[in-house]
Chain A
Amino acid sequence: MDCDLNLKATELRLGLPGTTDAISPPKNNKRSSPDSDSAPPPPKAQIVGWPPVRSYRKNNLAEAESGSFVKVSMDGAPYLRKIDLKVYNCYLELLEGLEKMFKLTIGEYSEREGYKGSEYAPAYEDKDGDLMLVGDVPWEMFKSSCKRLRIMKASDARGLGCAV
């Protein structure tokens, strides 16, 4: 019967199964600086069962990591609040939540004029640190790019993200 000798599998070596180096290169454990001149390490192939973290724990961690809480500041308020973006399914729900939390009205969104008919306009800080008007981009895109919310006085918000 044909037999795959698969000598490589039984070969005694220090290297990890799947690697071709005989000895793993010495590890540089210093934190890499942003302007490090070495190329970023290639993505690691995951080894089954390593590190030895139980799946129960891994699953719980995964949920903890995808934290969707963002800080919400309101111009003039003494302290900030935090909301969980995961909880909302669309802009309407988010704005209603904000209105309830801060006891104010936000008004209606329109692409042309931003938020009409209220004292306040909701803005957010995105991944690049830019201050953007809430509502311009699709909801899912907003959820992943929103780092922080800011409820601005409408007078300050004029000119923010308005279509020219």
Chain B
Amino acid sequence: MAYSFPEEVLEHVFSFLSSPRDRNAVSLVCKSWYEIERWCRHRIFVGNCYAVSPEIVIRRFPELRAVEMKGKPHFADFNLVPEGWGAYAYPWIAAMAEAYPFLEEIKLKRMVVTDESLELISKSYKNFKSLVLTSCEGFTTDGLASIAANCRHLKELDLRESEVEDLSGHWLSHFPDSCTSLVSLNMSCLGSEVSFSALERLVARSPNLRTLRLNRAVPLEKLANLVRHAPQLVELGTGAYSAEIRSDTFSSLADAFSACKQLKALSGFWDVVPSYLPAVYSACSGITSLNLSYAAIPSSDLVKLISQCQNLQRLWVLDYIEDSGLEALAASCKDLQELRVFPSDPFGAEPNVSLTEQGLVSVSEGCPKLESVLYFCRQMSNAALIAIARSRPNFIRFRLCIIEPQAADYLTLEPLDAGFGAIVENCKELRRLSMSGLLTDRVFKYIGTHAKKLEMLSIAFAGDSDLGLHHVLSGCDSLRKLEIRDCPFGDKALLANAAKLETMRSLWMSSCSVSFGACKLLAQKMPRLNVEVIDERGPPDSRLESCSVERVYVYRTVASRQRLDIPDFVWTLDEDSSMRYS
């Protein structure tokens, strides 16, 4: 079959496709499209760093300029993945340093990044522009110093919620005076104080700076000075938002904010002194994103601020906002798309604030564009969930955490099956769901039947039997990631749906009833799946095959099954059912 289009034309057409999924689809059309596409692919997304190897990537895509990669499974965020499991960035960085001297962007999530890696990045890529490390760990401020010192054209340094060993604030002073290219700097996760004058000079000489997220150590009294140097800021994260109440500090802050005509996002607000909140009021009408999730301020002060932000699209807040505050939110912010309410006292036995299911009901009713929710609360009812589902069929992300595990409907004492069932039935575009509360196999039947667009599902302390897992694996056509903890799901459902697992990115099951024998069988049946048994009690074959494993992590891979960095509490099962030890 001859194509009348020359390669360059096809390449040009492909250049309009930005989504990795679209490009992947294009590459599957035929061999010649595969070839053309791979030569002009500049950005890739690797959802699981162990699904493929650096060699395979480099061989296929010779011209990459941007790499985005994820490492540990999501449940690592909650300490369910033991320390040392893996997701090391170094092998990738080292391989890419050789293969892609023109690499510009690296974006990593939940990976272990060392100072060595950072130094290698800073010295290998002449045109390096952007480093985004989300929830990463393993590096110190010395690594940041290398990046600051050596990346001459650095535009973006974003350390979102990473765990950095903070040796000192000196790293920031390593940005040379000649560096004027910064567009985005997020250092909010760092503890140490940086030299304020170095920071001020850096901000002052960065005319393209759009995003500046400071750390807690930057005092409020100095914030105005910084902001005054960057009235073009679009996103600002304050440092500690507290100071002695002085009218000159206040007015200087208020003036600085009123000069920022482009401000769209505010965050930070640690240790808030409410009297200083009005300083940002002049910017509120333009604000679309507010992250107050570290701000311990009473509902009334929150409401005063939020009601100024008529164009708010995204709000992250602590449960101090209470039901009354959420009602006010529903009344004033009609453009709200995303709401996250975090618990101020997650381990307290009794509620410390008056936040119940009612808050979520109000917002669902009042905000027609609301599509994404993360909500922590202490009570829920089927009636509320049904009302929420009916008001808001446009949810694409619904994550509800009722703090007490297996909490029943507090009105009827029934399981919450009907409520979550209503969510999946009404919200036909739902892509992500996290459930909690008392749930039986019935809810999984509803999910398997209705949640056809669901891509990610998180389950904890739910279900009665394997049937629950079976409903999900056999019914959810779009499922990519399934993570389960403490559920009575076991071998039968897993083995019956083995083929399904190859259509997904990964399956995580911890404290369930999956036996070692089943893991071996699964590995035998499905050679392109990596079945990792993660068990800190020692080798699984020192126990009966029918014994449950502590954790099993199953993911599809085209790389070798035996990853070289496997720690001594992880066993990867091979086709011949032999186990390799590290």
Contact = CB atoms under 8 A, between A and B. Distances in A.
B271 interface: yes
B314 to A, nearest CB: 17
B464 A82 contact: no
Interface in A59-96: 60-61, 63-65, 67, 69, 81-84
23 contacts: A1-B542, A3-B547, A4-B543, A12-B464, A12-B465, A14-B464, A16-B461, A26-B413, A46-B347, A49-B78, A49-B80, A51-B401, A52-B401, A53-B346, A56-B161, A56-B189, A57-B293, A61-B344, A64-B271, A64-B296, A69-B242, A69-B273, A82-B245
A5 interface: yes
Interface of B: 75, 77-80, 135, 161, 163, 189, 242, 244-245, 270-271, 273, 293-296, 342-347, 349-351, 376, 378-379, 401, 403-408, 410, 413, 434, 460-461, 464-465, 485-486, 488, 511, 513, 515, 542-544, 546-548
A16 B460 CA distance: 11
Closest 3 CB pairs of A and B: A49-B78, A12-B488, A29-B379
A65 B75 contact: no
A2 to B, nearest CB: 9
B544 A3 contact: yes
User: What is the interface residue range for chain A against chain B?
Assistant: 35 or more
A10 B401 contact: no
Contact of B78 (A12, A52, A63): A52
Contacts of A48: 78-80
A65 B345 contact: yes
B78 A84 contact: no
A1 B545 CA distance: 13
B432 to A, nearest CB: 14
A24 interface: yes
B403 A27 contact: no
Contacts of B79: 48-49, 55
Given A32-B350, A55-B79, A56-B161, A14 B344 contact: no
Interface of A: 1, 3-6, 9-10, 12-14, 16-17, 24, 26-27, 29, 31-32, 41, 43-44, 46-58, 60-61, 63-65, 67, 69, 81-84, 101
Nearest to B485: A49
B294 A49 contact: no
B349 A16 contact: no
B365 to A, nearest CB: 22
A84 to B, nearest CB: 7
B163 to A, nearest CB: 7
A56 B543 CA distance: 36
B406 A60 contact: no
A6 B550 CA distance: 12
B77 A60 contact: no
A59 B497 CA distance: 40
Given A3-B547, A50-B460, A27 B343 contact: no
B75 A49 contact: yes
A86 B524 CA distance: 60
Contacts of B401: 51-52
A26 B410 CA distance: 8
A47 B408 CA distance: 18
B408 A26 contact: yes
A31 B350 contact: yes
Nearest to B347: A46
A72 B406 CA distance: 45
A54 B77 contact: yes
Contacts of A10: 513, 515, 546-548
Contacts of A49: 75, 78-80, 485
A123 B336 CA distance: 48
B273 A44 contact: no
B346 A51 contact: yes
Contacts of B515: 10
A20 B161 CA distance: 38
B350 A54 contact: no
A38 B544 CA distance: 45
A54 B347 contact: no
B273 A82 contact: yes
Given A16-B461, A31-B351, A82-B244, 19 more contacts: A9-B548, A10-B515, A16-B406, A27-B408, A27-B410, A31-B350, A46-B347, A47-B405, A50-B405, A51-B401, A52-B78, A54-B77, A54-B78, A55-B79, A61-B346, A64-B344, A65-B296, A65-B345, A69-B242
Given A41-B349, A101-B244, A65 B344 contact: yes
B342 A57 contact: yes
A54 B434 CA distance: 15
A1, A5, A12: most-surrounded residue (chain B CB, <10 A): A12
A9 B408 CA distance: 24
Nearest to B273: A82
Contacts of B270: 60, 63-64
Contacts of B542: 1, 3
B181 to A, nearest CB: 29
A58 B547 contact: no
Contacts of B351: 29, 31
A56 B135 contact: yes
Contacts of A24: 406
Contacts of A9: 547-548
A32 B294 CA distance: 28
A5 B547 contact: yes
A9 B490 CA distance: 13
A41 B161 CA distance: 35
A23 to B, nearest CB: 9
B346 A58 contact: yes
Contacts of A13: 488
Contacts of B464: 12, 14
Contacts of B461: 16
Contacts of B350: 31-32
B101 to A, nearest CB: 34
A49 B343 CA distance: 14
Contact of B342 (A1, A47, A53): A53
A54 B410 CA distance: 27
Nearest to A53: B346
Given A26-B413, A49-B485, A12 B77 contact: no
A70 B509 CA distance: 47
